[in-house]
Chain A
Amino acid sequence: MSEVEEKLYQNRYRLDAGRPHIRIRDPEVCQARCTEKSCAACCPAGCYTLGPEGAITLLTDGCLECGTCRIICSEFRNVDWEYPRGGFGILFKFG
Chain B
Amino acid sequence: MNERFDAIVVGAGPAGTATALTLARGGWKVLQIERGEYPGSKNVQGAILYADSLQKLIPNFREEAPLERHLVEQRVWVLDDRSYIGSTYRSPVSSDAEPDRYTILRAQFDKWFAKKAQEEGVLLICETTVLDLLREGERVVGVRTDREQGEVYADVVILADGVNSVLARKAGIRPELKAGEVALGVKELLFYSQESLEDRFGIQGDEGVAIEMVGKITRGMVGTAFLYTNKESLAVGIGCLLSDFRKEKVPPYVLLARLKEHPALRPLLRDGEMKEYTAHLIPEGGYKAIPKLSGDGWLIVGDAGMFVNSVHREGSNLAMETGRIAAETVIELKQAGEPFTERNLRRYRQRLDQSFVMKDLRKYQHVHEVLDQNRHFLTTYPELVNRAAETLLRVDGVDKRAKEKEVTRSFRKHRSYRGLFSDAVKLWRAFR
Contact = CB atoms under 8 A, between A and B. Distances in A.
B253 A44 contact: yes
A45 B105 contact: no
Interface string B154-179: 00000000011010000000001111
Interface stretch (B123-131, B305-313, B344-352): B123-131
Interface residues of B, number: 53
Nearest to B33: A86
A84 B245 contact: no
B251 interface: yes
B196 to A, nearest CB: 19
Nearest to A88: B127
Contacts of B278: 11, 64, 92, 95
Interface in A7-39: 7-8, 10-11, 14, 36, 38
Given A38-B249, A72-B246, A67 B164 contact: yes
Contact of B249 (A11, A42, A44, A95): A42
Interface in A42-75: 42-46, 64-68, 70-72, 74
B242 A42 contact: yes
B57 interface: no
Contact of B276 (A44, A66, A93): A93
B257 A3 contact: yes
Nearest to A82: B166
A93 B106 CA distance: 9
B129 A85 contact: yes
A66 B42 CA distance: 10
Contacts of B188: 7
B382 interface: no
B107 interface: yes
21 contacts: A10-B276, A11-B277, A38-B245, A38-B249, A41-B245, A42-B251, A42-B252, A44-B279, A64-B278, A64-B279, A67-B177, A68-B279, A72-B245, A83-B164, A83-B166, A85-B129, A87-B36, A89-B42, A92-B42, A92-B107, A94-B189
Interface of B: 35-37, 40-45, 47, 105-108, 110, 126-129, 145-147, 163-164, 166, 176-179, 182, 184, 186, 188-189, 233, 242, 245-246, 249-254, 257, 274-281
